[in-house]
Structure 1
């Protein structure tokens, strides 16, 4: 893993904590998975470029939190040699003109509606959640169950189960199950560092969706983060539109998050 000099342009703290989470995910991934799945990560300033070609998710095949053009050039050259669908994530409304020009010159094209970035402050008093869904932290002995549930929820290949299993019990990470009548039906994860926390890993078994599991998991992580000294929580989800609503976005707004910007996903062309 490479560590070039820090970027000089400011990167939003909301992106910094997200990049930290994915850098840490790479650092703690089992070496066998890194080798067999060609999992790679390069840190650049406050951001990173990350590549896991067998993962269908944009989050594991993207450039994130990089602002300086020299660093973007480095990340682009690195990512161009990787397999799979690859993306650059940038908030075009905050990017300087030179960055937007650079994106055009590289032939990177926006795909989809982008990602909504949301943030909220830590609750002053513990939040409550009503309903039949309970939550609890995942035990290290349950790491494989957690990993397999996340793979199933995100439609990841089963061989990536060790990636998500590896975060259970690791420093900075807190993992949760949502349960219904004692059965684990959904997952959620939190990565905390320096007063910030990133929320991810929200996956629900299909037959138990739309029952409030993710709202319960959001509440549980907000409460736990507050006890750990977290001041600000951030999360991202697909940007909803009138014709394409997003229940995850609605759940976050309902639990006190506010959208602060939208990042576009600029896809690499097939020709490097």
Structure 2
């Protein structure tokens, strides 16, 4: 698999876009109102996620510009205007291979600056690595949603105001959610969103005092094997691209499990 292999970009982008659109659409009405959740799709396959009541650029961003065309900058500018009106930080994550030359300059003209770069990690589901030491990892349903969101919150350090956003996922169509236990205590989360022949692996977190224990890798491998058993052909996930000598345990774990950085996606951010 080569870097920037163009045929893999639609696989990676559509899987992630579909998963996040599902998260937004499944949010309970009161959560949607509290966080100001909405989303919009462009004619070229992009999505704009809005959370006008929550000040995090990751929840106020555009994905997939140019996915099925050359990039609809008119639609994009309209969504950027909506972000600005809400007064929240926001961002645009784009693939250089999909947008016209000068696109980054267009974003700079709107006040967005490059902050970091995401590595989209993709692999096929065949010839998976063997499982390592046995770990207590379980798929959970709605009855365990409180444990799932509490563990996810500890692992990611996000506020409790997001609990109800993620609590709806266990047991929903397309979603498979998992908890990893250590001596009966939940210490890790992971989710799998299954759409067509692709599985997007997300929400992988480990609580601080259980990191560097091999649990992140074990949760990844467990979901990879689960996706293969569901008939998924492609496995997709993402993490920050390491810069220089900085530690990148997530990136290294993914590489060790056969994922390749199929393409890179810069994040351009504008502060509120």
255 and 25 in structure 1: CA distance in 2 versus 1, 3 angstrom threshold: same
* d(CA) in 2 for partners of 1:150, 1:58: 19
* d(CA) in 2 for partners of 1:36, 1:154: 21
Normalising to structure 2: TM-score of the pair? 0.88
Kindly indicate whether structure 1 or structure 2 has the higher relative contact order, using CA contacts under 8 Å at least 6 residues apart. 2
Kindly state the Cα deviation for residue 251 of structure 1 after the two structures are TM-superposed: 0.7
The answer to whether residue 104 in structure 2 is matched with residue 106 in structure 1 is no
| 2:92 aligned residue | 88
- 3-state DSSP of counterpart to 1:12: helix
The answer to whether residue 81 in structure 2 is matched with residue 77 in structure 1 is yes
| Offset from partner CA, 1:58-101 (integer Å, 9 cap, x none) | 43221111222233223222322233221011123553214234
Decide which of 27, 34, 42 is 1:44's aligned counterpart. Answer: 42
Gaps of 5+ in 1: 1-9
* d(CA) in 1 for partners of 2:25, 2:37: 10
5 Å-filtered alignment, 1:47-196, equals 47-52=46-51, 58-67=57-66, 68=71, 69-92=73-96, 94-111=98-115, 113-124=116-127, 127-131=129-133, 133-196=135-198
Instruction: Assess if the C-alpha contact under 8 Å between 1:47 and 1:66 holds in 2.
Output: yes
Task: Kindly tell me the number of residue pairs found equivalent between the two proteins.
Answer: 259
* d(CA) in 2 for partners of 1:148, 1:41: 26
Instruction: Assess if the C-alpha contact under 8 Å between 1:56 and 1:156 holds in 2.
Output: no
55 and 174 in structure 1: CA distance in 2 versus 1, 3 angstrom threshold: farther
RMSD: 2.1
* d(CA) in 2 for partners of 1:59, 1:233: 22
Instruction: Assess if the C-alpha contact under 8 Å between 1:123 and 1:223 holds in 2.
Output: no
Kindly state the Cα deviation for residue 263 of structure 1 after the two structures are TM-superposed: 1.1
Instruction: Assess if the C-alpha contact under 8 Å between 2:93 and 2:266 holds in 1.
Output: yes
Kindly state the Cα deviation for residue 11 of structure 1 after the two structures are TM-superposed: 6.7
Normalising to structure 1: TM-score of the pair? 0.88
Gaps of 5+ in 2: 1-7
104 and 37 in structure 1: CA distance in 2 versus 1, 3 angstrom threshold: closer
Kindly state the Cα deviation for residue 164 of structure 1 after the two structures are TM-superposed: 1.0
Kindly state the Cα deviation for residue 148 of structure 1 after the two structures are TM-superposed: 1.7
* d(CA) in 1 for partners of 2:56, 2:229: 31
